């Protein structure tokens, strides 16, 4: 039996010092919420059942095209990444699944990997294919595209790679494949927009044909990068058109950083929910482009407004509503484990706040066109400090009341720093 990476006794000792405060604060918040006809135990149960997947590519230090500055104890392979994910889940109990990226997470024995994950109490969320970079010895280059390349051999290679990701995912117990392609153009005239889209549909149809009946395929749109004039799946419209053409197993994934500045993402979410085409999310934050910053670190209210749409849909029992929640971030200047712990908590916090919106009062204010009353109902929920509830949920789950403080007290980073050879810095690249 693999032992968990953090000594449970350390977590218990750290919690023991905070337990009385958590209980008092929780009780006080419970009284406040009861005056708003909110049962804190109902919210706590929903928050305890909420989980967001960790991107395996997020536990190593990230970088930009200019440079990457690796830290101590960079993961060497998918097993190191899994151990780091186990630390995040052991301390926060909000990240029960890991989303892998192929070929970055390829290994020789997937049953061993699955066994290791189970020992850590982890499962596998959506698989991610990669036809945005060339692998050594690859017959066809993706320089001018992959699933939409003008060359049939290159498209076939990209389709085969996605089918390989499905096979790996089946061995790991995953039930979804996320397909993001950077295909597009850098010059007006370089690409025939309609033919490229037709090639995309032709290629993805072959991937859908290989999907097990209980799997879903998530199409991820993105406004630009690596292509800077046009991108084949550039926005939710292109993604929705494709997902509709490809059938019920295919839905649209919303990466928060993949939109032009100031786009109303919560409105896009509402549209996709109504069309039963919302696959789920890659949560992160951004100020300019696809910055992949920590979720809620720049615009927490924007994240809240997205969760307000999600909670409203669940509250109204919208048919087929079953979004997958994942983080997708790049940690260039923080300890990735700390950022992922904190970001998962931020997503959990935002979900808890969205659960506090008085839906009946909001419906009435909207019906009465009482704009101020309506927006104040959202602000009241967003401005509720739910920290005591998050701490209580962690305490009850055997996680750390203060996960970052406990992580730092554990000395885990120094431990893996000693065990894993140092990685030199250097050229760019997100991983």
Q: Which residues bind Mn ion (CB under 5 A)?
A: 255, 282, 328
Residue (128 or 410) nearer to ligand LRH, CB: 128
Residue (255 or 294) nearer to Mn ion, CB: 255
Neighbours of 383 (CB within 10 A): 12
Q: Please, what is the minimum distance in Å from the beta carbon of residue 220 to Mn ion? A: 6
Work out what residue 125 binds among ligand LRH, Mn ion, none; the CB cut-off runs from 5 to 8 Å by kind.
none
Residue (330 or 346) nearer to Mn ion, CB: 330
Relative to beta strand 230-231, strand 184-185 is antiparallel
CA neighbours closer than 13 Å in the CB half-sphere of residue 164: 15
Work out what residue 222 binds among ligand LRH, Mn ion, none; the CB cut-off runs from 5 to 8 Å by kind.
ligand LRH
Long-range contacts of 235-239 (CB under 8 A, 24+ apart): 235/259, 236/268, 236/271, 236/272, 238/197
Placement of tokens 């069309």 in the chain: 275
Q: Please, what is the minimum distance in Å from the beta carbon of residue 330 to ligand LRH? A: 8
Residue (11 or 227) nearer to ligand LRH, CB: 227
Closest-CA residue to 232 (of 206, 204, 211, 270): 204
Residue (285 or 290) nearer to ligand LRH, CB: 290
**Whose CB is nearest to ligand LRH?**
180
Residue (255 or 335) nearer to ligand LRH, CB: 255
Q: Please, what is the minimum distance in Å from the beta carbon of residue 108 to Mn ion? A: 27
Q: Please, what is the minimum distance in Å from the beta carbon of residue 282 to ligand LRH? A: 5
Work out what residue 57 binds among ligand LRH, Mn ion, none; the CB cut-off runs from 5 to 8 Å by kind.
ligand LRH
**Distance, CA of 88 to CA of 109 (rounded, Å):** 24
Written as one string, the DSSP assignment of 275-327 is TT-EEEEEE-B-SSSS--BPTTSS-HHHHHHHHHHHHHHHHTT-TT---EEEE
Work out what residue 351 binds among Mn ion, ligand LRH, none; the CB cut-off runs from 5 to 8 Å by kind.
none
Find the helix packing angle between 300-315 and 265-274, rounded to 10°. Answer: 20
Work out what residue 128 binds among Mn ion, ligand LRH, none; the CB cut-off runs from 5 to 8 Å by kind.
ligand LRH
**Distance, CA of 429 to CA of 132 (rounded, Å):** 12
Work out what residue 290 binds among ligand LRH, Mn ion, none; the CB cut-off runs from 5 to 8 Å by kind.
ligand LRH
CA neighbours closer than 13 Å in the CB half-sphere of residue 429: 10
Work out what residue 342 binds among Mn ion, ligand LRH, none; the CB cut-off runs from 5 to 8 Å by kind.
none
Q: Please, what is the minimum distance in Å from the beta carbon of residue 217 to Mn ion? A: 15
**Distance, CA of 314 to CA of 309 (rounded, Å):** 9
> Is the bond into 57 cis (omega within 30 degrees of 0)?
no
In the sheet where 324-327 sits, what is the strand order?
127-128, 176-179, 216-220, 250-255, 278-283, 324-327
Residue (68 or 222) nearer to Mn ion, CB: 222
Q: Please, what is the minimum distance in Å from the beta carbon of residue 10 to Mn ion? A: 34
Residue (74 or 255) nearer to Mn ion, CB: 255
**Distance, CA of 308 to CA of 303 (rounded, Å):** 9
Q: Please, what is the minimum distance in Å from the beta carbon of residue 401 to Mn ion? A: 31
Burial class of residue 196, CB neighbours in 10 A (0-12, 13-18, 19+): buried
Work out what residue 406 binds among Mn ion, ligand LRH, none; the CB cut-off runs from 5 to 8 Å by kind.
none
Q: Which residues bind ligand LRH (CB under 6 A)?
A: 57, 128, 180, 220, 222, 255, 282, 290, 328
Q: Please, what is the minimum distance in Å from the beta carbon of residue 405 to ligand LRH? A: 30
């Amino acid at each position: 039996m693999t032992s968990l990476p953090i000594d449970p006794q350390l977590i218990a000792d750290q919690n023991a010092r905070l337990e009385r405060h958590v209980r008092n604060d929780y009780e006080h918040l419970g009284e406040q919420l009861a005056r708003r006809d909110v049962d804190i135990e109902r919210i706590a149960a929903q928050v305890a059942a909420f989980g967001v997947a960790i991107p395996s590519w997020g536990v190593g230090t990230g970088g930009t095209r200019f440079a990457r500055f690796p830290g101590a104890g960079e993961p060497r392979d998918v097993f190191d990444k899994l151990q780091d994910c186990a630390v995040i889940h052991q301390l926060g109990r909000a990240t029960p699944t890991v989303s892998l990226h192929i070929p970055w997470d390829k290994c020789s024995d997937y049953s061993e990997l699955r066994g290791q994950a189970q020992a850590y109490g982890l499962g596998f969320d959506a698989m991610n294919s990669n036809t945005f970079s060339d692998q050594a010895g690859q017959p066809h280059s993706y320089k001018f595209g992959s699933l939409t390349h003008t060359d049939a051999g290159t498209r076939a290679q990209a389709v085969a790679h996605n089918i390989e990701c499905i096979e790996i995912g089946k061995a790991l117990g995953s039930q979804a494949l996320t397909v993001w392609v950077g295909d597009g153009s850098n010059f007006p005239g370089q690409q025939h927009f309609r033919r490229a889209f037709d090639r995309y549909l032709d290629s993805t149809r072959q991937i859908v044909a290989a999907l097990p009946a209980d799997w879903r395929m998530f199409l991820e749109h993105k406004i630009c990068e690596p292509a800077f004039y046009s991108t084949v799946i550039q926005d939710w419209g292109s993604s929705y058109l494709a997902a509709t053409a490809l059938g019920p197993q295919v839905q649209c994934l919303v990466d928060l950083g993949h939109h032009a500045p100031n786009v109303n993402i919560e409105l896009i979410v509402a549209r996709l929910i109504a069309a039963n085409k919302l696959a789920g999310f890659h949560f992160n934050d951004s100020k300019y482009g696809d910055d992949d910053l920590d979720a809620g670190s720049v615009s927490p209210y924007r994240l809240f407004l997205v969760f307000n749409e999600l909670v409203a849909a669940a509250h109204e029992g919208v048919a087929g509503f079953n979004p997958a929640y994942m983080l997708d971030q790049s940690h260039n200047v923080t300890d990735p484990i700390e950022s992922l712990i904190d970001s998962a908590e931020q997503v959990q916090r935002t979900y808890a706040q969205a659960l506090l919106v008085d839906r009946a009062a909001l419906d009435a204010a909207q019906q009465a066109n009482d704009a101020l009353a309506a927006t104040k109902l959202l602000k009241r929920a967003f401005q509720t400090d739910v920290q005591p509830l998050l701490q209580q949920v962690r305490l009850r789950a055997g996680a750390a009341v203060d996960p970052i403080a406990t992580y730092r007290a554990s000395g885990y980073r120094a431990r893996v720093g000693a065990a894993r050879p140092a990685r030199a810095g250097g050229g760019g690249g997100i991983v």
